[in-house]
């Protein structure tokens, strides 16, 4: 590892001025034509016209400049993607971050600066996300974003019920069964919390003589969701399940943070807005399996 650190030593931050570019601010200022961007100590110091610097100058004439891309749904740089149990909430992707994955180098070259590394979609409740800043040559711990919000992967549809496999005996095997997995998980987590509160409320002497409840990492993680300390990002396709996921969440006072893929989101955009959920969809990929036969290229625009 020390050899890698020397061989791939991170470049030091330097003062840089990018001149005369079309600057996409992704903010209220919108798109700025023929503008300059000044960078100091690795941060954007100023955006405007006729800026000056004593550092390096890059001619941006005829080029477009944007903020770095944040990939909210990625599986790169992970040594393991799927855990096949029905509820894998105890699994943590941050434990299997592979900092030597060449994809990090390639993503940086394409302008991606940060990513949410998600568990796969093999089960209704997947593992906990790892949120990383892409840095080539850094260690796994150095990639992780300190103090980042907590996320977890949920999934709906064909992937989690696996009925295409005639030999499958797993639960769930129906979309109704998938819904029940969520209801059971949230209910069990609330009951788990009640057990601990009941034990903690005992008089000190009684509590000392009473075995404490068994610790359960699945229930602890799901309880974080119920109490608003962990956010759900959910793999989804069809309108019926999108509706189901939001309704189950609302039943337990939960707001889904984001629905990804969401090829039929255009059918329920009004309901999504009311729930307060964000969406991440493909820009030009559909009709690759049954669940996306009703996808349309205007999906993202309508949402």
Q: Residue 11 pLDDT > 90, yes or no?
A: no
Q: What is the pLDDT of residue 149?
A: 96
Side-chain half-sphere exposure of 276, counting CA atoms within 13 A: 9
66-83 burial code (b ≥16 CB/10 A, e <16): eeeeebbbbbbbbeebbb
State residue 162's pLDDT score.
Answer: 72
pLDDT of 286 strictly over 90: no
Give the pLDDT confidence of 95-136 residue by residue, as tens digits.
999 999 999 999 999 999 999 999 999 999 999 999 999 998
Q: Looking at residue 200, what is its pLDDT?
A: 96
> What's the confidence (pLDDT) of residue 5?
56
pLDDT tens column, 127-148: 999 999 999 889 999 999 999 9
Q: Is the pLDDT of residue 4 over 70?
A: no
C-alpha span between 285 and 292 (Å, rounded): 9
Beta strand 130-133 with 112-117 is antiparallel
The predicted pLDDT at position 3 comes to: 58
CA distance 38 to 16: 6
* pLDDT tens by residue, 206-259: 999 999 999 999 999 999 999 999 999 999 999 999 999 999 999 999 999 999
Question: Tens digits of per-residue pLDDT, 64-101?
Answer: 999 899 999 999 999 999 987 899 999 999 999 999 99
Structure tokens at 210: 């009473």
Assess contact for 190 and 226: CB atoms under 8 A: yes
pLDDT-above-70 percentage for the chain: 94
Dihedral sign of CA atoms 101, 106, 109, 110 in order: negative
């Amino acid at each position: 590892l020390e050899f890698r650190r020397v061989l791939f030593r991170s470049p030091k931050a330097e003062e840089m001025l990018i001149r005369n570019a079309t600057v996409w601010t992704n903010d209220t200022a919108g798109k700025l034509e023929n503008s300059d961007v000044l960078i100091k100590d690795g941060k954007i110091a100023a955006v405007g016209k006729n800026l000056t610097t004593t550092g390096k100058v890059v001619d941006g004439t005829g080029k477009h400049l944007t903020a770095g891309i944040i990939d909210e749904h990625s599986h790169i740089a992970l040594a393991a993607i799927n855990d096949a149990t029905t509820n894998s909430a105890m699994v943590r992707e941050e434990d299997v971050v592979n900092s030597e994955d060449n994809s990090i180098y390639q993503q940086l070259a394409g302008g991606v600066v940060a990513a949410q590394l998600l568990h796969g979609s093999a089960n209704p409740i997947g593992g906990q996300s790892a949120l990383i800043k892409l840095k080539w040559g850094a260690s796994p711990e150095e990639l992780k974003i300190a103090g980042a919000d907590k996320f977890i992967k949920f999934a709906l549809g064909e992937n989690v019920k696996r009925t295409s496999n005639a030999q499958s005996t797993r639960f769930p095997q129906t979309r109704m069964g998938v819904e029940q997995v969520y209801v059971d998980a949230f209910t069990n987590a609330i009951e788990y919390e009640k057990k601990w509160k009941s034990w903690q409320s005992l008089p000190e002497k009684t509590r000392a003589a009473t075995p404490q409840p068994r610790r359960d990492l699945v229930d602890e993680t799901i309880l974080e969701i119920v109490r608003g300390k962990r956010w759900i990002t959910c793999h989804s396709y069809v309108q019926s399940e999108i509706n189901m996921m939001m309704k189950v969440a609302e039943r337990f006072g939960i707001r889904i943070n984001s629905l990804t893929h969401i090829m039929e989101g255009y059918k329920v955009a009004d309901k999504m807005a009311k729930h307060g959920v964000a969406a991440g969809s493909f820009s030009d990929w559909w009709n690759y399996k049954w669940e996306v036969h009703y996808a349309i290229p205007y999906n993202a625009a309508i949402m």
